[in-house]
Structure 1
Amino acid sequence: MYDLVFVALAIGLAVTIPGFISGLGVGLAGVAAAGATAEKPGEFSRMFVLEILSGTQGFYGFIGGIMIMMGTGILGGTFGLPEGVTGLAVLGAAVPIILQGFTAYPQGKVASASVSAISKNPKVFGSSVIYTVMVETYAILGFLTGFLLIYGLGIFG
């Protein structure tokens, strides 16, 4: 019973926290993009690229939660863990997936500043995307670490 509680907690936190923080990041970038697009409607697609980058952490959390659901059988209704694996271990393996979500907020701040820069000088789009993607690097590392930990537990068979 406790294993199921910890696994459910891992899934819930892996999906909810990155999703919530991604909403904040997308909101920051979106506010800046809306204002800039009002002044320069032709820059919409560039502004949108910067805004959407701040939301990818929510996708990583969702994918992590789905991986745990599939690996533990919760998605199919046949919950089970391999011999020697506890629900607390699954929760521990999900921690990098949960915490990577917090990078969405600073990424939204970088994207917001980038929107401002592009509205002043569209030639800085490429460098602005690079600045924004640099924050993404750490989200990806967190997601990959969580994925490898979950895979290492052997819940995928």
Structure 2
Amino acid sequence: MVSDLLFVVLGIGLAVTIPGFMSALGVGMTGVAAAGATAEKPGEFSRMFVLEILPGTQGFYGFIAGILIMMGTGILGGAFGLPADVTGLVVLAAAVPAILQGFTAYYQGKVATASVSAVSKTPETFGSCVIYTVMVETYAILGFLTAFLLVYGLGIFG
């Protein structure tokens, strides 16, 4: 039988790695566009930077979810343990929303990249473009909050 520890570590690993990787893709594609736009209009750096960092937040959400699971299960302190009615597979399942929210970073990067183009042509569109980009963030936040509430609801924090 697969141990509870293996499932918990798998949940932590996926919750940190997938959102981190997808954030890197989103930030990277937006950064390429932002670098080109900044080369043409150096004064627009701060606006381009705001658009570039937005797809990176999903990586933080996944990282925070992983840390919370490590703290709750005692992995971070070196004393792994779960409540009697909680299995490692259940902890892995609770991490799924934190894992899947990471995929929104790629799509947020696409919106942010298009926004870089729009803002470089018409700087007055910056506010609207930030709103478009942040709308994708809503679903990342919902995924993180769901994972947080599931992990908290398992009672692993004592």
Q: TM-score, normalised by structure 1?
A: 0.99
Q: Secondary structure at the match of 1:55?
A: helix
Match of 2:147 in 1: 146
Provide the C-alpha distance between the structure 2 equivalents of 1:149 and 1:2, rounded to a whole number of angstroms.
Answer: 21
Name the amino acid aligned to 2:93.
Answer: G
Aligned residues: percent identity? 83
Provide the C-alpha distance between the structure 2 equivalents of 1:88 and 1:121, rounded to a whole number of angstroms.
Answer: 50
**CA offset digits 1:68-124 (Å, max 9, x no partner):** 000000000000001110000000000000000000000000000000000001000
Runs of 4+ in 1 over 6 A off after TM superposition: none
Q: Secondary structure at the match of 1:85?
A: coil
1:56 aligns with 2:57: yes
Provide the C-alpha distance between the structure 1 equivalents of 2:141 and 2:114, rounded to a whole number of angstroms.
Answer: 22
Match of 1:101 in 2: 102
Name the amino acid aligned to 2:139.
Answer: Y
Give the count of matched residue pairs: 157
Provide the C-alpha distance between the structure 1 equivalents of 2:17 and 2:49, rounded to a whole number of angstroms.
Answer: 23
Cα RMSD after superposing both structures: 0.6
Offset, 1:14: 0.3
Q: TM-score, normalised by structure 2?
A: 0.98
Match of 1:136 in 2: 137
Match of 1:46 in 2: 47
Name the amino acid aligned to 1:155.
Answer: I
